[in-house]
Chains A and B, each alone.
Chain A
Amino acid sequence: GENVEQHPSTLSVQEGDSAVIKCTYSDSASNYFPWYKQELGKRPQLIIDIRSNVGEKKDQRIAVTLNKTAKHFSLHITETQPEDSAVYFCAAMWNAGNMLTFGGGTRLMVKP
């Protein structure tokens, strides 16, 4: 089955700096890679996703890149703000409507 590794497990940055979280996956058949943000006591919220036919996707301050050959994808957050502090999860799915396999999560702390 699919295995998703996520690094780092914790990340502390100064407000205004950039943050990068990296994930690797094992199943080359995976073709959909979402990122979720989970604030304390809240549900995971889908913040950005990318499909395997695209190399990069941006949405304001966040971007995701995908390297299919190396089987890794990354989340980039620019100009970080204290409200970006949360746990971020990457995930992989091998076909529409199937289960997601999650990475272990990254606790991002943005210091004001």
Chain B
Amino acid sequence: SAVISQKPSRDICQRGTSLTIQCQVDSQVTMMFWYRQQPGQSLTLIATANQGSEATYESGFVIDKFPISRPNLTFSTLTVSNMSPEDSSIYLCSATGHYEQYFGPGTRLTVT
């Protein structure tokens, strides 16, 4: 199984600012994903991070708000831009090489 780390683990940010979350995998993986999880809720996919091409966003999420980078097969970043309190959530990255998908520990974001 892949070991996935995320930085930062948590942050408190002011509205209008941006935060970049980093996701590192200990092995090369085909696909990386970014999810959002509100407290007590299920996981909602934000986008699929494709290596060498632009990310694919799900309905309700746009590149200007959540720009994603995937410079290589082990690393990805998600930026939450121009934050508002509604962006307060846990952001998780995941990775898969084939079927099994593993998750990072998450970044708990609070926007004040």
Binding site for B on A (CB under 8 A): 32, 34, 36, 42-46, 49, 51, 89, 93, 96-105
Q: List 21 A-B contacts (CB under 8 A).
A: A34-B99, A34-B101, A42-B105, A43-B105, A43-B106, A44-B103, A46-B101, A93-B99, A93-B101, A96-B98, A97-B30, A97-B96, A99-B45, A99-B48, A100-B33, A100-B45, A101-B45, A102-B42, A102-B43, A104-B42, A105-B41
In the complex, chain A residues whose CB is within 8 Å of the CB of B96: 96-97
Query: Nearest-CB distance from B73 to chain A (Å)?
Result: 13
Question: Would you call A46 and B100 a contact (CB within 8 A)?
Answer: yes
Q: From A90, which residue of chain B is reached at the shortest CB distance?
A: B42
Query: Nearest-CB distance from B29 to chain A (Å)?
Result: 9
Given contacts A97-B30, A97-B98, A99-B48, contact A43 B42 (CB under 8 A): no
Query: Nearest-CB distance from A82 to chain B (Å)?
Result: 21
Q: From B59, which residue of chain A is reached at the shortest CB distance?
A: A1
- B19 sits at the interface (CB 8 A): no
Tell me which of B43, B94, B106 contacts A89 (CB under 8 A).
B43
Q: A45-B103, A89-B43, A100-B45 are in contact. List 11 more A-B contacts (CB 8 A).
A: A43-B92, A43-B105, A44-B43, A44-B103, A96-B96, A96-B98, A99-B33, A100-B33, A100-B101, A103-B42, A105-B41
Q: From A46, which residue of chain B is reached at the shortest CB distance?
A: B100
Instruction: Identify the interface centre among B30, B42, B100: most chain A CB within 10 Å of its CB.
Output: B42
Tell me which of A32, A45, A89 contacts B99 (CB under 8 A).
A32
